[in-house]
Every structure is written in C-alpha cells, then in structure tokens.
Structure 1
Amino acid sequence: MEGVLVSAATGVMNSVLAKLAAFLGDEYKHAKGVRDDLVFLQSELSAMNIVLQKLADVDELDELSRDWRDRVRDLAYDIEDCIDLSIHRLRGGAGAGESGLAAKAARMAKKIVSFRQIASQIQKLKARVVEVNERRNRYTLPGLVSTSSDAASSSKVDVRLCALWKETEQLVGIDGPRDDIISRLEQKESSAATAQHDVRMVSIVGCAGLGKTTLAKQVYDKIKEKFGCKAFVSVSQKPNIKELLTNISTQVGKSTNTSDDVANLVDNLRDYLKQKRYIVVVDDIWKPEPWNFIGEALVKTSPGSIIILTTRVKEVAMSSSSSHGGFVYPMKHLDDAHSKRLFYKRIFDCEEQCPPEFEQASKEILERCDGIPLAIISISSFLADRQSLYHWNEVKKIISSPLPGNKHLETMQSVLALSYYNLPHDLRSCLLYLSSFPEDCVIAKDHLVSRWIAEGFINARPGESLYEAGLRYFNLLINRSLIQPWGEYGEVMSCRVHDVILNFIVSKSVEENFMTLLDPSGLVPLQHSNCCKVRRMSLQGSCSLEKFASSMKSIKPHVRSLACSMDGTGLHPLSEFKVARVLHLEGCQSLTNNHLANIEKLVHLRYLSIRGTGVSVLPANIGRLQHLETLDITRTRVKELPPSIVLLQRLARLFVSEDVKFPAEGVSKIQALELLTCLSVFNQPESFLMELGELTKLRALDVLWDLHHIGYSDEVQGDEREKSYEKIFTSSLNALDRHNLHSLYLLVGKDTDRFLFDSWFPALKNLRKLCIINGGERTTIPGWIRLAAKLEQLELTRVFVTQEDLQMFGDLKALESLDLFSSDTRGSWLTVSNHGFRRLKSARISNVLFMPDSMPNLKDLHIDIRLDEVGENDSVFQHLPSTLCRVDALICGNPPLRDAVSKLEEKILNVANTHPNRPTLTTETYIEEDKRWSNEKQKPQ
C-alpha cells in the first residue's frame, strides 16, 4: 500500500504521515510550541496506521475494535484538515504575491496569529489521540475479544463446498452448458490422432454467483466414472500449495509422506499420473501462482485426461488454459426463460408460471437479478415464505440494499466478500467508491479514473502516470468480474455495476463509513455517528434537499467528496465545502452561475464537474484553484473560458463542449494537460492553435473540424482562413505527435473532407489510437496511415475500401482493433490474407472473405455482407478464425436475393454451431423491399 495516500482501510493516515513529515521540515522547524506535539502525533499515528492495516483484513471485528478503528480514521481526517488549512494560512492564502513593506509586515503578523491558532488546534488533536488509546485500553479484556481472522474463519464452513451438493434443478439450465463442455472436450479428443495422448482442459470463468462450481461439479459427476484417477479440490485465497498437492495425490490414489516438500510432491505426482487417465477439478483459483505448481504436476501427455478449472479472474483462465492447450468457457447469465423457471420453481414449485398478480413484480425482480443464479436463488428463498403482493413490492424497493437475516442472502454476501477481501487495499477503495453512483448508471471510464485520482486512491508504479495506473485498476476490476464492461469500441469505454454487487458494495461502504448515501427511498439516510463525520457523500434520486438544509450546514465543513445527481438546492453555497477535493454535480439543474461564486476558496479542489447544468459563465478567478486536475463543463451553456484558466498549473483533464472558445493567449502554460475533448478548431483564435503544439504532455485530443465556425460570408475570405487554420493546426499536431500524443479523435463536418484526406496531411507516426468520424460524403483512405506503425486502434467511417487498403491495414503490426463502419468496397469482395492482421482482436468490416489462418487472434467480428452489391460467393463464412468469441453478422440483399440471404444466414448459423470455439452469434437480415430489419436471432445457449 506504499504510495497510496487515501484508502478505505486506513482513511487518510498515509497522507497525514507524509504531511506531518513535510510540516516538520525546514520551513516550520522553528515553530515553538508546535513541533513537539507534531512529533508526538507522527509517532502515535505511525503505530496506529500499522494496526489499521491489520484490521482491514479482518472480516468480522468486535465492537470495541470497530469503534477504535472508526475513531482513529476520523481523527486522521481532522488532523489532515488542520494541517492543510494551516499551511494555506501560513503561506498567505490568495494574497501571498503582494509586495511592499506594509504587505510583508501584514503577512508576518498573520503568521504569528496562525501559529497560535495551530498550536491550540494541535493541542486538542493530541488530547484526542491520547483519549482514543486510553478508551481502548480501559475496555479491552485480553483473551475475551478476538481481533484475529483465524477464529472467525475456523468456525465457518466454506460456502463454495455447499455448491457441490446443490441439486441440479436448483440451477435450471445447467444441463445445457454441462453438455456443451463435455461435447467440446470429446470433440477435442477426437480431433486428431495425437490428441488422445494429450490432456484436455477447460477454464470456466465468470463473476460470483453464476454457478461456476456447480457447473464444474456437474461435468465432473457426469464423466468421472470413465477415469481411473479423479480429484476435486478447492483453492483458498491464500492457498497452501503443499496441502493442495497432498489433497490431489490422496484423491487420485497416490500415497504421500509428511516429509515431502512441494518439489517432491510435484515430481511424485507427475510420475504417478504419467501413464494414467485422470480427471481433476481445480475450483475457484484466484492467482496464477498456485496453478504454476498444480499445472506442473498434472502432466500434459496423460492420455485422454481432463482438467477443469474455475476462476473469477479472466487472466487466470486464459493463462492456465494456454499452458495446457485448453479453452476458456465464459459463464453466461441465465436467459429470461431459465431465470423464470428457476425463480418459479423455488417459490411456487412450478417452472412455467406464477399467479397473475405476481407476474409484474416477478418480472421487475428478475430484471434486477440479471440472470445470476445465486441472486435468483437468494431472492426467491427470501420470498418463498412471504407470498403476498405487499412483500413482493417491498422487495422491489429494497433489493439493492442488504437484506439481513436470510441465510441465502448471507451466502451471497459471503461469496462476494471472498472477492472483496482478495483485493489489495487500494483496489478495495476504488471498488467501494462505485457506491457513489446511482443504480444502473453507466460510468464513463475517463471520469471514474479522474475521480479516483482526485480522491488519492491511485498508486502509480515507477515510470507510470497516475492516469495509466488508474486504467490498470479499472481493468483489474473488470478482469475480476466485479464491474461489467459497457460501451466497447475497440476498448472498454465505460462500465456498470451489477445490482447484486452494488448491494454488497453499498453495505461495505456504509459499514466502513466510507461513503454516506442519500436516496429518495431513505434506505440509507443522511446521518453520521457521534464519532465519525461525513467525509464522502453521494446524493441520488430526485427528491429535494431543502428538508436536509439544517443537517447540511454542520456536515459541509468536513465533506471532501460530493457526488450529486439530484436537485441540489440545499447544497448552496458551494464555498462552504471548504475541504472538498471532489465536486461531481452532473445534472444538478438548480446549479447556476451564482452558486459558483467564491469557489476559489476551495483551495484543495481537484475535480470539478458541472456537466449538464445551467451554468453559462465560469468564475473569472477560477485560475486560483491551484490543485484542480479535472474540469468538466460539457453540456453546459458556457461559451467562453475565462483568461485565468491558463493559470491552472495542475489541470490534466479538460472536458468542454464544441461551442467553447479558449483564451487567445496562454494555453501553453497549462503544461500538465493530458486530455482535451471536443476542441472546435475553427472556433478558436489562431494564436491558441499555435500554442496548442507546446502542450508536451497532451496524450489524447478530441477535435471537431466543422467550417460553420469560420464566420465569413465572403467565400474567398472563408477559403483563405480555412487554409490558414489547416496549416497552423497540422503544424501543432505534428509537434504534439513528437511529444506525447497517443490518441486522436476527429469529428468531421460536411464539406470538409479535403483537409482530412489530402496527401499532405501529416503522418502521425506515434499515434496508438486514430478515429475519424466522417460526416460528409464517402472518401478514400489516405496512404499516410501506413506510416502510423504504432497504431493499436483504427476507426474510419464512410470510406471507400479497396483490396490495397485492406493489405495496408494488415501490415500495421501493432493493430488490435479495426472499425470500418459504413464502408463501401465498390461492389467487390475483399480477401483477408493469411499473413496480415497478426494481432487483431476486434474487427468491423464489410464484404470480406477469409483465407485459412487469417486474423489468427480475432475474437470479436462484426461483418456486413451486401449481396446486392457484391453478389453471391461460395466462400463466404469459410475459414473463420478459430479464436472467435462473438460474431455479429448483417446480411443485406434486394428482393431477388431473398433466398440467397436466407441461405447465407442459415450457413453462418451452422458454421457457428460447428465452430471449435462456439462463438456467440447474432444475425440480422435486410431485404431492400421490406424497409425493415428482421428479428434478431441468437444462438441458443
């Protein structure tokens, strides 16, 4: 956790210790009456921090330990607030730059007063530290209260073991995936003569509650009698490798000695299994390390043997399968039919229907369960003894909050707790922070990472920026199936949190006093305990805050993070949130210009979002927010940025709307800027565009190129200005490319294609992502793209594509995602050769045929076939890459080709069913005469 300033486990303790060290440095070493107290605080808090980190891994604390933990964390927040405000006062605040004898004398007098105030505050904080420790010592009885996780864990049954004996009918639909896995394993065995001498392996992966263990057990039970050696082992979060190997050895019939070390156990197990046919299930593995030993012991050449592995972590599934030539089987959520059957069976003992009065309520409850069997089982068990419409409607309201007293719901919480406590402390903080977002909210990746950074949750590795580290955290949470990817366009752009997981996150967040929530239902009321102040607050829903105005008055001075997605009338004035780091006010319609008055007083503010509000003018002195890192003013009425914006030395991410105009001079001073969105080029002064190229850290730029901002009625003058802007902008773009620019997004208006696809357009050799959304007529693809050798993602819309173009794209060695939306092949079939696109994982292309071994790493294919343009071809859908996981096919034709369209649709359905990787398939057909799309068809699970 070294380097993480703020976490759910220790609060701001790390940040406080760092600031105490700085406060005791040269600048304040002569602060009489303060230094000794600060040294005392530093010593005491260091010891407290160690205890807090240990307590963070205990899932059930006694009441005294919990009280002590909460008081210590709250104390650390108060100490940091004291230090921050004191330093601001000592440095003279906003008027520190004034010169002259009188000004110096005034500052000296102010410092003397400030030191006296600091001394008094530090004395009070020191007394609180002493009092907190004495209380714990007074009431703790040694040996009576356990603060160790050992006692708690030893008295609990591992909930995963219970799943082994679940009846099959409790997971309706398990027979389909079970038979699918068995079929694929048998197919793999008979695919080649040599395959009978190789182990066959499947890694089942998915989030908590999908039934991975049950599915593995069903496969195991169905086929285990065919094997002479068999074993089923569960891996703990911190596995004992020796015990695991001993367990496997015992189950397969190999005796072991207690003196055997891990190396001996591996060697002995390998020798024993070498000529035997075995089946081994390794259940719920969390990290690659245990598999490195187990996989080494399970020899790859045992004839016809099978290994089944289950995990919540995609990386573990992929690495383990690749090591033994296996395949990954992603667990699917139950479809509507199977969800209903499971739900009805457990409540009404009938799989097909429920009483009519319960239909609407059951539909809404099942929507929230989202096809997760564990969620359906838990909720249906809760409702089985409460078969009244009143109770069902109550469940609809509270399904996203903890439901105590039900063993099935407690089981679900326990399963999620395993995932939670397996996370590093800093990643736990990032996960808990998702409780600040409303239910079913689509969370933009850029904004989420920006807020994590502002909160102090991110710990960057050497050579890694905070934003890059934040992206790594984001991907880790996706890989661990704790957040759902959403809006995938070559990369995951946003995410959602499943209701079941959000339920757990909210309960943990409230328990840890990490986030205080308010919503219209009052499920989590706005309140705080006597010992803990509100530090982070999320206001959700549509009710007014006026009735909470009196409470808000006392809460505001301590709130560091505020997220509001409702009418925020009771929040004003914002300047009263004097220690705020994050203000996320997206969609607060009551927010006006007046409410931003004096916002420069929020000297610690790092993140400000007024997205989607009625604000039309930013404060003229916004440049005084010297800690501001992220500013989002998209979808506001702001048309012009104040000149002081260029004084924001730490501003790294700036989100603006297309009508926003920048100051003519000074943008080059914002040297921390990394991300700039929706820059309308022709709406800016030429001097601004010249300085743009001096932003050496700019890594991502979104540009609107639309001539309607030129504003000249005279065509000649307009032409000259357009050419001038082209020259200046492309020069700056080249300079940015030489610095740090990795991502360029260009949205092109009508009648401006000449600029983008002219032969003299700069070759941006260092770009990793290029997206050109063409709003005009289709145009040809520029040849300079072949020089962008580092391109990983390429998206071009409304372009003509030739065979030569496809060859050019295939030669881009780093390319992983290609999207040619609404492209036109000019009536020709294009052929994907077997030597290009070696790293491509995602493709959206039209009218293409595949050669054998083409696109060998492709997982996601969106393909358009326009038979009315290119005619029929027997090679369509042949030689599809064996790695495919998903195929979206659009087949178009005119009325005479109706039969050909149907035949081709049937062909791809057959191809998908016989494909070695069984990809998920979606097909759509379109006959010109019908003027409508056919119903979407998906391959049955």
Structure 2
Amino acid sequence: MVDVTASALMGVINPLLDKLSVLLEKDHVNLKGVNQNIAFLRDELSSMNTVLAMVAESDDVNPLVNEWMCQLRELAYDVEDCIEIFMHHLNRDGACDRFIDKMISKIITLKACYQIGDQINELKGRALEVSDRRKRYELSLSGQCSKSVVIDPRWPALFEEGDMFVGIDSQRDILVKWLTDDRDSHPQRMVVSVVGLGGLGKTTLANCVFRRIISQFDCTAFVSVSRSPNVNKVLVDVLLQLLKSSPTTEDQNRDIMGIPQDLYLRTLGYLELVNMIREHLQNKRYLVIIDDIWSKQAWKDIECAFPHNSTASRIITTTRIQDVAKGCSSPHSNYVYPMKHLDNDDSRRLFLKRVFYEGDCLLELKEVIDDILRKCDGLPLAIVNIASLLASIPTSKKQWERVRNSLFSALKQNHELEVVKRILLLSYYDLPHYLKICLLDLSLFPEDHEIDRLRLIRRWMAEGFIVQQRGQCLEDTGENYINELINRNMIQPVDINYSGRPRACRVHDIMHDLIISISLKENFATIVDNHKPSPLAYKIRRLTLVGNCEEQNLWQGTNILSHVRSLSIFGAVKKMPSLMDFQVLRVLDLHDWSNLEDGDIGSVGNLIHLRYLSLSNSNISKVPQQIERLKHLQTLDLRCTRIEELPATVAQLRKLVRLFLPSGVGLPNGFSNMEALEELSSLDVSRNSPEIVLELGNLTKLKVLGIEWFLGGSILGKARFKQSLASLFCRLGERNLQFLSFTSNSDSSVDFLIDSWCPPPRHLQTLIMCGLTVPIFSRLPKWISSLFELTHLEIFIEEIVWEICECSKICLPYSASEFT
C-alpha cells in the first residue's frame, strides 16, 4: 500500500511548499537567519516531494522507505504548524492603530520571532536528518526481495459459473437488447459503456452478456485494461483472441505469423498492431469487451483499432468513471449503463447461496446476517467475500457476531476481505493527490452520515486542501472536487437539485471503512468511538468524537491535543476537551451537538488559527466577546441556536467570508468593517436599525444575502425601514450579488420595491422572494427582465403580466419557476 502513503503525503507537502514560497516573498523580520532556514526547508521539502512522486509510481517499495515517509509526513506537519504561528505573529502589527499598541505588539512579535527562529532551526536539523537517513541506509525506491506475482482480483469474475450469478438477469437483458435489437436499422459500430463503483460487478455483467451473445459474431475478444496500461500489450491480447476466435484456416495462420503468434506480435509497434487489427476486422462482425478503462486517452488509443465497418459490430466497455463512460459511448450517450446495487432480496440470495449453497440459514443467524448485508449495501464484491469468509468457519452465532463486529479491522487482516480492499484501492490510487487528501477528510464523518456539500467544501477551504485555480474562486474549485469524486463513484450524491448539484453526499460503508483504514495509517485522523476504538497517535492531527464516547480522560494533563487541526463532534458526546489544549486548530465543527454549553466555547478566542467555526443546531446562547481574536476566521455558522445578540467585537472579524445567523439576531454597529464578507444570512430587519440595513450596501464583496422582512404594524418608523431597504436594493445592484432570498411575513405586499430596484444586479443567478401570508408583489416587477444571468426564480405574486415575461431574455427551467 505504498502508493497510499506517497501520494497522500504529496497532498500534505504541496500546499506547504506554496505557503513557504509566499512567506519568502513577504517583507518580514529576519532574525537569526530565519529567512535562510525557511528557504532551506522549502528547497529540501521540494526535493523530497520529487522523490515521493517517483515512489508513488512504484509497486514494490523497501519497508524502510515507508518508515522514512512517515518521518517526512510528521516533519511536514510540524513545519506547517510552525510557519502558521510565525505568520500570525508577523501580521500582529497591522491590527493595531495606536502608536503605543503598535510598540507593544512589536516587542511581543520580536520575542515570538526569536522563539520561532529556534523552532525553525530545529526543524531544519530534522529535515537534514530525514534526508540523510535515506542516504545513510541506502534506501532504494524499490524493494530488494523478490515479489510473488499478484493476480488481478477482477479476473476470477470471468470464470464464475452461471448458476452463481444473482440479481444480474434484468441488467443483462437490457444490455443484450441494446446490443442485438434492430441490427438491420443500426449496422454501424456501437459502443455500450457500463459504469459504476468498483465491486459492483461490472466485469461479471459484461462477461454474462458476452456469453449470451457470443455466437452471433464472427470474432470476439475480452481484455482488461490497467490504470497505467501498456496499450501495445492490450492490442496484442485483442489480436490474439480475434485470430483465435475467427474461422481462419491453418494456412492463413501460418502466413500471418510464420513464427509463434504471440512472440511475433509482441515485436510489432503500435501502428502496425492497429493496422493489423483493422485489416482483420474489415469485413467481419466483431464483439469486443474492454474491461476497466481508467481514462479517455486510453480509450482513444485503443478505440482506433476497431473499424466502423457497417456490420453491426459491438463493443462493451466498463469503467468506474462517468466521464470516461460518456467518452467511450460518444456520440451515443444513451448507451451508458449505470450499474445498480443489488436490492435487499438479491443481496440476501447471493449471500445465502455463497455460504449455504442451496440451504437456508439458521434462524439465530438472521439478525447477524441482516447487519452484515446492511453494511455491504448491495455491493456484490463485499457480499461474496464476506460470505466466503463465513463459509470457512463454523455456523456459530458467537463466531459470526465476532466477524460482524470486526469487519473494519478484518478489512486489513483477512485474505477474502483483502480482495475487497485491493479492488477498491484501485479507485483511490487513481485519484490526483489533492483529491486523495479531500477524500481522507470524509473519514472524520460517521458511517452512513449525509455530509452537507457546502459544509464539506468550507472545511476543505479552512484546512487548505483546495488548490487555487486561475480565474476561479476556491468554493467553485471545491465544487469541482465534489463533482470529480462523484464522477469517479467514490462518493454518492444525495438530493440533486435543479442545477445538477447535490445537497449532500454519502460514502458507501465499505468504502468508508477503507478510507478510515488509510486515514489511520497516515495519521491523518484519530477517531474516538466506543463502537470502533482506535489507538491514539502520539501527535493527533485531526480528531473526531463519535457517540457516547468516554475517552476524554486519555488526554487530560498532556499536550497530545496541541497539534490537532480539526475537531468534530457527532452524537451524544457528553463533554468536549478544553479548547485551551488546542494550539493550531483550524476547524471546530460542533454542528448538531446537543450537549454544547456556553462554557465549552468560553476560551474560543485562544484558537488564533481558527478558520471554520460551526455552532449550528446547538443550545448555545451567546458568542464570547473574545471572538475578535480569531483574525483568520472565514466561516461562522450560528444557525438554529438560541443566540439573540452578537457582541460588538464580531465586527472586527475582517477576514470573515461567511456569516450565518439564527432568526431574530441584530448586527452590531460597524459590521461593514467586515470587508471580506461574501455571504450573510439571514438578516432580520425587525431586529436591526434602518441605518444597519443601509450599511449592508457597503459590503462590496457580498454575493449571497438572505433578508427576513418581519415588520409588524407596531414597528415605529416603518417608512424609514422601507426607504432604507429600497436604497439598499439600489446599492446592491451595483455589487456582485448572485443570490438573494427575501422572506416576508408582513400583512401587506412590498410593492415599494416593485419599480425601485435600479440598477438591478446583473449577475444575480438565484432570486427567492416569498410571502408567508400574502403575495409579496401585486405583479411581476419590470426589473425581472433585466436579470440576464438568472437561473432560479421563486416569487409569490398576485398576477402575472405576460408582456413583462415575454420581453425578458431569461431562460428558466420549468421546475425552477414558481408563479403563484
């Protein structure tokens, strides 16, 4: 599992190298050779990163190299922690306005820089030692001992007997129909692509179809492709099978080969092989299966060997990646078949057939089997291999329960389940390093947890996992990361909206176990869960507390939490560790933790590196005054809490990008100082002054805004609020507003806005204007026709003036428009 270590480590080092380079470009205090040492660390880590890229390509690595990589990983983490602290102290001066404050800050900074200079010098020594160790022990990139030949775990599926197939008949019949119907009306070559998660049975399905229709073709071939294919070898295999299955005479074979076929063909180049295959297939009807394709380029290299000869030839490809499947079947996108999970009945049938053959299970084992099948979630690979494991042990409830309870650890120790791991790991290996580290972050969430898409992206941003792309904001890049993981069937989308974006995602239980095993091996995360205990690392980097865990005494009186970067709590955890123990925390995610109390976050101001703070869906009732010390905070989520008022110090969070408020909270004066704010929801107008409402227009970067217009008849100065709101809308029209949600429970419409939005926001993409009791407008506003980028509209009005709609250039999906 070397590629796991090397590539995941590259995901740690690459962002660190960027951070070191940025630091060297800045004009900062240079004490005790700090600049030179930072430059040395950058150059040394860059060289080690190059070695890692070579290691990641090797299948056989010396065990000492693995140990060296572990030491390098811990060094990289410690360097990043030190640099974070150093940069924080360097930026202290800019936050002070008064001269005396600046002088005091400079003295503190000077002292801190001396201390950090010593730490950086120590890290330089560790970097030298890590570098020298590889040279001292002559650690080569490849292993020294001979290695046994590893059989591709997918190949046994080609030799399954037909009576062992379960739940595949209906899927087979669909593909057979696609491939064989209307031969006369569709004589062109057709490509059908089967796509799905590793272990779903794509190879088995393709083989089942192959057996069913093979007799209808003149020649056939079935080949598998690896992640890094030798295209010439694949073409040789194809040609050998085509020749063998063709009705050629012995003389023809001798004329073609002259010498043994396989030896001769392996001497040919790519173009010669392609031309030979095309010539052989020119007037024949052929059937070819290309199994497990990993890239569009591999398909392009192979596909050109198969001519469009109008003989109703057929090709089946299988892949784990949706974009590759579409590329293979293009331009016939209708012939992409998404492989389905087995339903409950078929899962049970497959399991019982593998364990008991034709018999039925003992009644006392039913509950255990139900638990195991729930874990497998319709994944045939997992069902078959767990069943094979259970078939080899006595049918004792106690022993079966032991297997059920240890499935997570068994994934590392048992031969049958090692097959499951190897097949799923192929998908992990194929990820770029920046997606590997994002995928590992999912290990911090409990099994079967629906993970909110935006919550996940914001956590990635806070951790620095998202690589900045030119011309694209980090959140959009994060969206691309989510889409790519879905495209590769590593995660499953939940509740896809009108724009094709999922509200949330989840991870298959077996994949989740695999991610956890990698995460623990890489010391990426520590998960404290009574149901799945894991050992505490010497240096915990990310910590998740799950359920009714009672492990908090383990770290009391130690500095084991001083290196934790992320803390997440799920379930009925009784007590969280003291925030005083955390020194480099970036993510504090306490969403939906019912036992959270105000005292638990009293010292949150000490978390000077915090970037993401979620207290949503909790019983918290106040925000500490010292929150102003969180100078790097990007996301503050207070939704669905008992907070009624924000401290004035919130306005000092100048790097805050997203602020999510519970209903009925007022903003402090001066909040427009939060110049980085891009998202604000939801602002209750009734709990704020007209001046505060108008001040929103000073937020020049605001993209997302939610407003609650809950003004009753008793509110004094209602006319001033209307004037402020109308003025605000005009000012927002000059900004880059992209999303606006406006909710009213007023007993009258807000027609004062119907013609006053000038100019309207030209970049607005989503507009939601809803009245809870009465229509929000008496008619459709004229400015609607000027929102040229609008894609989602919900509006509660009394009547529609169709002339206004017709003059608009807006093209809206039917399901996204709501005219009531």
Q: Which amino acid aligns with 2:440?
A: L
* 1:699 maps to which of 677, 698, 703: 703
* Residues 700 and 90 of structure 1, relative CA distance in 2, 3 Å threshold: closer
Change in Cα spacing, 1:295 to 1:799, as seen in structure 2 (3 Å) is: farther
Tell me, in whole angstroms, the C-alpha distance in 1 between the residues paired with 2:397 and 2:431: 40
Residue aligning to 2:629: 624
* Gap change, CA 1:205 and 1:30, over 3 Å in 2: closer
Are residues 318 and 744 of structure 1, via their aligned partners in 2, closer, same or farther at CA, if it must alter by over 3 Å? farther
CA distance in 2, matches of 1:540, 1:58: 37
Change (3 A) 1:661 1:535: same
Relative distance call for 1:656 and 1:144 in structure 2 (3 A) is: closer
Q: Percent identity at matched positions?
A: 37
If the length of structure 2 is used for normalisation, what is the TM-score? 0.87
Does 1:178 pair with 2:172?
Answer: yes
**Is residue 673 of structure 1 aligned with residue 673 of structure 2?**
no
Query: Which residue of the partner structure matches residue 727 of structure 1?
Result: 726
Q: Distance in 1 between matches of 2:107 and 2:753?
A: 65
Distance change >3 Å, CA 328–CA 23, structure 1 → 2: closer
- State the match for 1:127 in structure 2: 125
- Aligned counterparts of 1:309 and 1:394: Cα–Cα separation in 2: 40
Instruction: Find the aligned partners of 1:798 and 1:377 in 2 and give their Cα distance.
Output: 57
Q: Secondary structure at the match of 1:659?
A: coil
Q: Which residue of 1 aligns with 2:611?
A: 606
Alignment check: 8 A CA contact 2:638 2:660 kept? yes
Deviates more, 1:488-497 or 1:23-32: 23-32
| In structure 2, C-alpha distance between the alignment counterparts of 1:702 and 1:574, rounded to whole Å | 32
What is the aligned partner in structure 2 of residue 504 from structure 1?
514
- 2:367 aligned residue (360, 363, 374): 360
Query: 1:632-679 deviations in whole A, cap 9, x for unaligned?
Result: 111221122222323222222222222222124332x32322333333
Give 1:544 deviation, angstroms: 3.2
- Match of 1:459, as an amino acid? V
Q: Residues of 2 paired with 1:381 and 1:796: CA distance?
A: 58
SS of residue matched to 2:304: helix
Match of 2:652 in 1: 647
Separation (CA, whole Å) in 1 of partners of 2:106 and 2:786: 61
Map 1:825-864 → 2, pairs under 5 A: none
Q: Tell me the residue number matched to 1:239.
A: 229
Partner deviation per Cα, 1:585-640 (whole Å, 9 max, x = no partner)? 22334433333334333221111111222321212232332211111111221122
The residue type paired with residue 251 of structure 1 is Q
Give the counterpart of 2:546 among 509, 521, 540. Answer: 540
Q: Partner of 2:395: helix, strand, or coil?
A: coil
Hey, what does 1:852 align to over in structure 2? none
Higher alpha-carbon deviation: 791-800 or 385-394: 791-800
**Are residues 252 and 685 of structure 1, via their aligned partners in 2, closer, same or farther at CA, if it must alter by over 3 Å?**
farther
**Residues 817 and 602 of structure 1: CA distance in aligned 2, closer, same or farther (over 3 Å):** farther
The equivalent of 1:870 in structure 2 is none
Indicate if the aligned counterparts of 2:610 and 2:633 stay in contact, CA closer than 8 A.
yes
- Equivalences for 1:268-417 in 2 at 5 Å? 268-324=276-332, 327-350=335-358, 353-384=360-391, 385-417=393-425
Which of residues 499, 519, 525 is equivalent to 2:529? 519
Matched, 1:223 2:213: yes
> What whole-Å deviation, never above 9, does each CA across 1:348-370 have from its counterpart, x for those lacking one?
2237x532212222222212211
Change (3 A) 1:744 1:46: same
Instruction: Return the offset for 1:217.
Output: 0.8
Deviates more, 1:223-232 or 1:767-776: 767-776
In structure 2, C-alpha distance between the alignment counterparts of 1:246 and 1:797, rounded to whole Å: 66
Match status 1:766 vs 2:763: yes
Give 1:471 shift.
0.4
Q: Does 1:206 align with 2:214?
A: no
- Could you say which structure has the greater relative contact order, defined with CA pairs below 8 angstroms and 6 or more residues apart? 2
**Partner residue in 2 for 1:486:** 494
* CA apart distance, 1:214: 0.6
Structure 1 residue 427, shift from structure 2 partner: 0.3
Unaligned runs of 5+ in 2: 1-5, 247-255, 257-263
Quote the Cα distance in structure 1 between the aligned partners of 2:203 and 2:236: 21
| Distance (Å, rounded) in 2 between the aligned partners of 1:57 and 1:808 | 59
Measured in 2, the distance between the counterparts of 1:289 and 1:528 equals 42
Amino acid at match of 1:508: I
Q: 1:87 to 1:808 in 2, by over 3 A?
A: same
Structure 2 contact 485–491 (Cα < 8 Å) conserved: yes
Report the CA distance between 1:818 and its aligned residue.
Answer: 2.3
Quick one: distance in 1 between partners of 2:404 and 2:320? 28
Deviations along 1:478-528, whole A, 9 cap, x unmatched? 111111101222221110111011011001111111111111124323x11
**Distance change (3 Å), C-alpha of 1:485 and 1:741:** same
Distance 1:260 1:589, change over 3 A: same
CA distance in 1, matches of 2:490, 2:745: 40
CA distance in 2 between partners of 1:783 and 1:270 (Å): 64
Q: CA deviation at 1:86?
A: 3.5
After TM superposition, give the deviation of residue 228 of structure 1 in Å.
0.7
1:15 Cα deviation after fit: 4.5
Instruction: Indicate conservation of the 8 Å contact 1:611/1:633, yes or no.
Output: yes
Conservation of the 8 A alpha-carbon contact between 2:530 and 2:548: yes
AA of the residue aligned to 2:591: E
Whole-angstrom distance in 2 between the partners of 1:806 and 1:252: 65
Matches within 5 A, 1:574-589: 574-589=579-594
Structure-2 residue corresponding to 1:41: 41
| Superposed displacement of residue 173, structure 1 | 1.4
**Higher deviation after alignment, 680-689 or 414-423:** 680-689
CA distance in 2, matches of 1:807, 1:38: 61
| Distance (Å, rounded) in 1 between the aligned partners of 2:749 and 2:507 | 40
In structure 2, relative to structure 1, the CA distance for the partners of 1:443 and 1:304 (3 Å cut) is same
**Equivalent residue in structure 1 for 2:537, among 519, 525, 528:** 528
> Is contact 1:401–1:506 with CA below 8 Å preserved after alignment?
no
SS at match of 1:702: strand
Query: Are 1:9 and 1:56, in contact at CA under 8 Å, matched by a contact in 2?
Result: no
Once the 2 structures are TM-superposed, how far is the Cα of residue 334 of structure 1 from its aligned partner?
1.0
Deviation string, structure 1 residues 271-311 (Cα, Å, up to 9, x no partner): 44343211111111111112223333323443211111111
- 1:118 shift after superposition: 3.4
Letter of the structure 1 residue corresponding to residue 290 of structure 2: V
Q: Name the SS for the 2:625 alignment partner.
A: coil
Cα separation, partners in 2 of 1:772 and 1:206, compared to 1, 3 Å: farther
Give the counterpart of 2:150 among 148, 152, 156.
Answer: 156
Give me the CA root mean square deviation. 3.5
| SS of alignment partner, residue 622 of structure 1 | helix
- For structure 1, list consecutive stretches of 5 or more residues without a partner in the other structure: 1-5, 825-941
1:452-484 superposed Cα distances (whole Å, 9 cap, x missing partner): 111111112210111110000000001111111
